[in-house]
Amino acid sequence: MILMKKYFISIAVLLLILSACSKKDSPGAGPVTPPPVIPVDTSMYKMMPFPVGAAVSVNLMQNNIKYSGVVKKEYNSLTAENAMKFGALHPSANSYNWNDADYLVNLALLNNMRVHGHTLNWYTSLPTWVTSFVGDSAAWENLMKTHIQTVVTHFKGKVTSWDVVNEDFEDTGIPRNSIWRQKLGNDYVARCFQYANQADPDALLFYNDYGHEYSTAKRTAIYNMIMSLKSRGIPIHGIGMQFHTTHTQSDATIRDAITTAAATGLKVHISELDVRLNINRVQGLTFTSTLAQQQAARYKFIVQTYNTIPAAQKFGITTWNVGDADSWVPGWQGAPDWPLPFDTNYLRKPAYAAIIEGAK
C-alpha cells in the first residue's frame, strides 16, 4: 500500500516536471524572466555607475513642462543640442548671444547637473559672417582663436568639458576639407585644443566624431590623430563617439569602436547616442513592440560594453535629446523614427530599462 502511494506520488511529480518543461519550451508562452520593473519615482542617473546625459533644446526646456521634468529627474549631465554652436553664440563678428546657453547652464547647475559644451569648432553651423569672411591666415587664426577663447572664458568654471573639434574626418578616414583646414592648414586642430586650454586649464577637452562603429578607416584615423596629439603634449583629455546608430549595428563593430576609443587612454564619452529603427526610410513605418525590443537590445549592448572600460575613462553616455518627438533623426533621415529612450509622451520605452540593465 505504502509502495503504491509512493509510486503514484513519483508519477505525479514526474508529470508536473514534464508539464513545467513543456510550458517553458512552447512558443508563445512569454518570456521566462519578466522585464525589470523600474519604479516610477526612480531616476536613471541614480541607477548608473557613470554620468548619463541628454542633449537638450532650449525651446523645449522653457516651454514643455513634461520635457523639462524628465530632463531634471532622469539625467545628471546636460549638453546643449544647438545653443552653444558657433552660429547660435556668435551671430555676427562683434556680437555674442549668450541668452539661451546661459539659461541651460544655470538650469543645469541649479539642478546639480554637469554641463558638457558642444562645440567650439565644427565645419558647419557657421554664421555667414564666417563663411564669407575675407582675410589672410593670421586674420583667420585670430577669428578662430577669439571665438574659442571668448566662449570658453564666458563659461569658465561652469562648463566641465568641451567638444573642441567636431567631425574633422570623412568616413573614408581622410581629414575633412573644411573651411578651417583650407584657411589654417592641417594642424589647426592642435591649436584649437591649445587655445581652449589657455582659456580654461581645468576644462576637459574632447575630440568628437561619428561613425566609429561603422567605419574602421575613420575609427583608425581618429585613433591615430589622437595618439599623435597626445605624443606632442597637446592638451586633449577625451574622445567623444557620437553613436547615431541603428538597431542593426553588429555587436562586433560596436565593441571595436568602444575598445579602440578606450585604447587611447583618454576619457570616453558616448556623446550623442540614438538608435534609429527605420533604416530603409519607409514612410509608413510604425513603431512595434518587436522594434522596441530590438532597439532595447542595442542600447543594452552599447551600455554593457561601455561599462567594461576602466572606471576612470567612463566620462558618461549622453542621448541626443530625450523623447522620440524631439529627435533630429526624422528630419535628418527624412522618415519617421523612434530613436530615444522616452516615447512621444515622455513615458519610458524598453530602451530605458535596457540602459539601466546594461550598466548592472
Active-site annotation, residues: 167, 272
If one asks whether residue 306 binds ligand XIL (CB under 6 A), the answer comes out as: no
Residue 221 and residue 169: Cα distance in Å, rounded?
A: 8
Residues of span 166-205 touching ligand XIL by CB under 6 A? 166
If one asks whether residue 82 binds ligand XIL (CB under 6 A), the answer comes out as: yes
Site pattern 319..338 for ligand XIL (x: CB under 6 A):
---------x----------
Give, in degrees to the nearest 5, the angle at Cα 38 between 37 and 39.
110
Q: 194, exposed or middle or buried, with CB in 10 Å at 0-12, 13-18, 19+?
A: middle
What residue is closest to ligand XIL based on CB? 328
Q: What is the size of the binding site for ligand XIL (CB under 6 A)?
A: 6
Which grid cell sits at 333?
533621415
Give, in degrees to the nearest 5, the angle at Cα 272 between 177 and 142.
40
DSSP-assigned letters across all residues of 32-65:
SSPPPPPPTT--TGGG-SS-EEEEE-HHHHHH-H
Q: Taking a C-beta distance cutoff of 8 angstroms, is the pair 6, 314 a contact? A: no
Residues of span 239-278 touching ligand XIL by CB under 6 A? 242, 272
If one asks whether residue 304 binds ligand XIL (CB under 6 A), the answer comes out as: no
Site pattern 133..172 for ligand XIL (x: CB under 6 A):
---------------------------------x------
Site pattern 31..70 for ligand XIL (x: CB under 6 A):
----------------------------------------
Nearer to ligand XIL, 47 or 279 (CB): 279
Packing angle, helices 188-199 and 216-231, rounded to 10: 60
Nearer to ligand XIL, 246 or 304 (CB): 246
Site pattern 101..130 for ligand XIL (x: CB under 6 A):
------------------------------
Residue that has been written with the C-alpha cell 510550458 in this structure: 23
Q: Taking a C-beta distance cutoff of 8 angstroms, is the pair 314, 50 a contact? A: yes
For 173: left if phi > 0, alpha if psi spans -120 to 50, otherwise beta; the answer is left
Residues in contact with ligand XIL by CB under 6 A are 81-82, 166, 242, 272, 328
